[in-house]
């Protein structure tokens, strides 16, 4: 008898668990491109369906039928929107084109980043920017862009001269109050120890 009651209870409960209601056709269907989902379990998809202002579904294989509008991507890439609440675009671009030293606060890391820039940039190109010591200052609790007085790292020209014989170097500390130039940069500017 107990078994019959258990089976009847299960049947009643399962009867209320119907299939999900279909959401209807999408307003917009993107297909024919590479769609990066950001989901590690399914990083790429072939189509993306949008209803209203939301992504309704993403997948591969046969897309949902009946879309009000279909956009053929022609092999182009689709990625989720990039939203950044605070970027200094000129600085971000300069760090990409020069060298990024924001997280550097020791000699080996400094030399490594300068070497990487020298290997990447054409001979004769200036290696600039850098902004060394920022993360170190911020980690020490300085607020408002960092307190340069709290940063203990002080790079010197001898660290980089041997690695940059073909590249003038002028890099700055994150607060831009201190700069470091290599011998080639000083020579090209006509600066000597007597200057």
pLDDT tens per residue, range 59-88: 999 999 999 999 999 999 998 776 666 777
Q: Are residues 180 and 100 in the same domain?
A: yes
Q: Are residues 59 and 135 in the same domain?
A: no
Q: Is the pLDDT of residue 30 over 50?
A: yes
Q: What is the pTM of this model?
A: 0.54
Torsion of CA 108, 111, 112, 118, to 10 degrees: -170
End-of-domain residue from the set 66, 83, 100: 83
| Whole-number pLDDT of residue 12 | 41
Task: State which residues form the domain around 160.
Answer: 89-188
DSSP string of 4-72? HHHHHHHHHHHHT--PPPP----SEEEEEEEEE---TTS-EEEEEEEETTEEEEEESSSPPS--SEEEE
Asked whether residue 144 is domain-assigned, the answer is yes
Gap between the Cα atoms of 61 and 51, Å rounded: 19
End-of-domain residue from the set 83, 118, 134: 83
């Amino acid at each position: 008898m107990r078994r019959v009651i258990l089976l009847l209870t299960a049947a009643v409960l399962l009867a209320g668990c119907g299939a999900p209601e279909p959401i209807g056709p999408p307003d917009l269907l993107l297909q024919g491109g590479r769609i990066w989902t950001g989901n590690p379990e399914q990083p790429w998809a072939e189509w993306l369906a949008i209803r209203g202002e939301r992504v309704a579904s993403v997948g591969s294989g046969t897309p949902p039928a009946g879309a009000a509008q279909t956009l053929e991507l022609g092999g182009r890439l689709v990625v989720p929107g990039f939203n950044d609440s605070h970027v200094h675009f000129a600085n971000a671009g300069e760090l990409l084109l020069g060298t990024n030293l924001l997280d550097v606060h020791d000699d080996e890391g400094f030399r490594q980043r300068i070497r990487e820039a020298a290997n990447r940039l054409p001979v004769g190109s200036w290696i600039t920017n850098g902004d060394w010591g920022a993360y170190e200052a911020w980690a020490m609790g300085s607020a408002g862009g960092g307190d340069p007085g709290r940063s203990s790292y002080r790079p010197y020209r001898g660290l980089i001269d041997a690695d940059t014989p073909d590249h003038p170097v002028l890099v700055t500390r994150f607060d831009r109050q201190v700069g470091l130039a290599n011998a080639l940069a000083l020579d090209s500017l006509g600066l000597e120890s007597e200057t």
